[in-house]
Amino acid sequence: MIIELVGIFATVIILIAMSIKTTTYKGDVWMRIINLIGSAVFVVYGVLLPAISTAILNAALVVVNIVHLVILKKEHNKELQEKSNENKEKEA
């Protein structure tokens, strides 16, 4: 029974992540973070069941979400730097 609750909890987290609007940086980041948490809970669920394919798939999704978060952060920092440089050029 507790194992099923873990699976249901993970499902709800993933559903919440998929309902987030991802047209902004903040939305993209929140979707990835919540999806990462849901995938991590699914890893636990897969191990407890045991359903190794579920655990492996969601472990891979944790990695994918982390990679995308790093990429999003780098792109965001680059955009901020470019805007800062543009403002400095306008002031000069």
pTM: 0.89
Share of the chain above pLDDT 70, in %: 99
Residue 7's identity, in one-letter code, is: G
Write out pLDDT tens, residues 53-69.
999 999 999 999 999 99
pLDDT of residue 92: 65
Cis peptide, bond prior to residue 50, ω within 30 of zero: yes
DSSP track, 5-52:
HHHHHHHHHHHHHHTS--SSHHHHHHHHHHHHHHHHHHHHHHHHTT-H
Q: How far, in whole angstroms, is CA 66 from its chain's centroid?
A: 7
